Amino acid sequence: MKVRADEHVAPKIVQVLRIIALSTEWELTGVREFHAARTLDETWLPRFASEGGKAIITADVWAQARRNIQAASLIYFWPEIEATLTTAQAGEFWRVPTTLYAGRLEKLRVNYAAAAQAAQRP
């Protein structure tokens, strides 16, 4: 499965995940490997999808978190991330806990109609 990390996931974290956590049939890349810093999601997401991309890992809500917390959470929960993504439906979103040993991935609800309206506002 092709997974891409957005620009809020440090390239070194992507590299570490590839080395120690990724299953062999999975491909994890970072957006910075293909695009300049601060490239809009609207630019890279459609291209990634057209190349067979199936899931993204974002750290938007973790943008201010220390990198060691991001790395530890992603490494610890990676087996659950893979298991969840294997059966997830298109358009589903999941939050990775930032507290180790506590919790599971949390499925988020997205109001697509409200998001589309917000995107059209000037």
Exposure on the CB side of residue 7, measured as CA atoms within 13 A: 12
Is the pLDDT reported for residue 115 higher than 70? no
pLDDT of residue 17: 96
Is the pLDDT reported for residue 119 higher than 70? no
pLDDT of residue 2: 95
Query: Given pLDDT bands bounded at 50, 70 and 90, which one contains residue 61?
Result: confident
Contacts of 80 (CB under 8 A, 6+ apart): 104, 105
Between 79 and 121, the more confident residue is 79
Among 77, 80, 51, 59, CA closest to 12:
59
Arithmetic mean of pLDDT, 59-84:
87
User: What stretches of the chain show up as alpha helix (H) in DSSP?
Assistant: 11-20, 41-50, 67-87, 112-120
Is the pLDDT reported for residue 112 higher than 90? no
User: What six digits make up the tokens of 112?
Assistant: 């697509």
Between 110 and 75, the more confident residue is 75
Q: Decide: helix, strand or coil at residue 58.
A: coil
What's the mean per-residue pLDDT of the chain?
A: 87
Q: Fill in the amino acid letter for 79.
A: P
In angstroms, the Cα distances linking 43 to 63, 98, 108 are 20, 28, 24
For 115, phi then psi, to 5°, come to -65, -40
Query: Given pLDDT bands bounded at 50, 70 and 90, which one contains residue 95?
Result: confident
Between 11 and 119, the more confident residue is 11
pLDDT of residue 97: 84
Please tell me the pTM assigned to this model: 0.83
